[in-house]
Amino acid sequence: MKKVVIVFLLVTVIGMVAYFAICNVTYSDGSRSGILMKFSRKGYVFKTYEGDINVGFITTNVLGLTANVFHFSVKASDKEVIENLSKFESKHIKIYYKQKIKVMPWVGDTDFLIYKVERIDNN
């Protein structure tokens, strides 16, 4: 019986380590630009920073015409990005993101994690 418990605990620990390692893998990275529509801190248990940008295209679906919105999350540790996004609401911005395979609930709601933001001047 003792051997079964040890094997179970070992498999559980290895499984958890593998899951966390897979969650940290970057699936893709890139950038998007558009108008920042919303940026907020939300959540019941885990407070995360979430935002939306309108990338400027209109799409059609069953409901009719809708704005093409890109949803993203920001790690709470990225203070500079959070500060800049708070200042840039309704401004044209360019965001740089890394798409993770899976994001833990305390990191964000989406798989797209923003690590850099720039304001685009429309002169």
CATH assignment of the domain containing 69:
2.40.50
Question: How far is Cα 93 from Cα 91, in angstroms, rounded to an integer?
Answer: 6
- pLDDT value at residue 107: 82
Segments of the chain assigned E as strands? 26-42, 48-61, 64-74, 92-100, 112-119
Q: Is the pTM of this model over 0.85?
A: no
Question: How far is Cα 97 from Cα 86, in angstroms, rounded to an integer?
Answer: 17
The residue type of 99 is Q
**Is residue 19 in a domain?**
no
Give the residue from 26, 71, 31, 27 showing the smallest Cα distance to 53.
Answer: 71
Question: How far is Cα 101 from Cα 58, in angstroms, rounded to an integer?
Answer: 27
- pLDDT value at residue 40: 92
**Is residue 93 in a domain?**
yes
- pLDDT value at residue 104: 81
**Is residue 80 in a domain?**
yes
* Full domain range(s) for residue 52: 27-119
**Is residue 10 in a domain?**
no
> How many domains does the structure of the chain reveal?
1
Q: Tens digit of pLDDT per residue, the chain (123 long)?
A: 888 888 889 999 998 888 877 777 888 999 999 999 999 998 888 889 999 998 876 666 666 666 688 999 998 889 999 999 999 888 899 999 999 888 888 888 898 999 999 998 765
